[in-house]
Amino acid sequence: MPAHPSVTLRLMTEQDLPLLHTWANTPHWREWWGDELQTIEAVREHYMPRVLLASKVTPYIVMLGSKRIGYAQSYVVMGHGGGWWEDETDPGARGIDQSIGPVHLLNQGLGTLLVKTLVAQLFADPAVTKIQTDPSPKNLRAIRCYEKAGFRRVKEVMTPDGPAVFMLKERA
């Protein structure tokens, strides 16, 4: 066992949904993700298509060694639908979202490690040209984390979920 367990990502499975339900109902998630995932049924309805890879969004569980510590997702930006990113014409653009589960693990650099790991994983696919993320302008912790992971602020945009800071990382 290494002294510091590493951060890795694996695909989310149905067995992870109860833990996701617990995380989704913590104050630090509800502050940024809203109140729509209060019941396990709502979590199943929202995430099962992703687990079954029947959605445009790919779901991951973030691991610290053998412990589950967070959730992340990636998606193809172009053609996402629902009023999102209608101007994107690059089929290689990907988007990411992520959150740390246990509150006591915030602000320890794990989010930065998680984003760097996910970015490296996505860029391993030569078809991927750039990766975007879109925190709320009020989410200063997330913005700082993404900057530390190599993203730059491009502009403020309006999304179907409200104002967001459009942040981008291009392939090096």
Residues that bind ligand COA (CB under 6 A): 28-29, 32, 97-100, 106-112, 135, 139-142, 144-145, 148
Q: Is 78 exposed, middle or buried (0-12, 13-18, 19+ CB in 10 A)?
A: middle
CB of 120 to ligand COA, least distance (A): 16
Residue with Cβ nearer ligand COA (139 or 159): 139
For residue 50, the number of C-alpha atoms closer than 13 Å in the C-beta half-sphere is: 20
> What is the radius of gyration, based on Cα positions, of the chain?
15
Could you tell me how many residues make up the chain? 172
Nearer to ligand COA, 31 or 91 (CB): 31
Output the residue with the shortest Cβ distance to ligand COA: 111
- Quote the least distance from Cβ 101 to ligand COA, whole Å: 8
**Contacts by 15-20, CB closer than 8 A, 24 or more apart:** 16/61, 16/68, 17/43, 17/44, 17/47, 17/48, 17/51, 19/68, 19/101, 20/47, 20/71
CB of 13 to ligand COA, least distance (A): 21
Nearer to ligand COA, 76 or 117 (CB): 117
Q: Are strands 93-100 and 130-133 parallel, antiparallel or unpaired?
A: parallel
Q: Using CB atoms within 10 Å of the CB of residue 37, give its burial: 0 to 12 exposed, 13 to 18 middle, 19+ buried.
A: buried
- Output the smallest distance, CB 161 to ligand COA, in A: 10
Q: Closer to ligand COA by CB, 59 or 127: give it.
A: 59
Q: Minimum CB separation from ligand COA for residue 126, in Å?
A: 27
112/126 with CB nearer ligand COA:
112
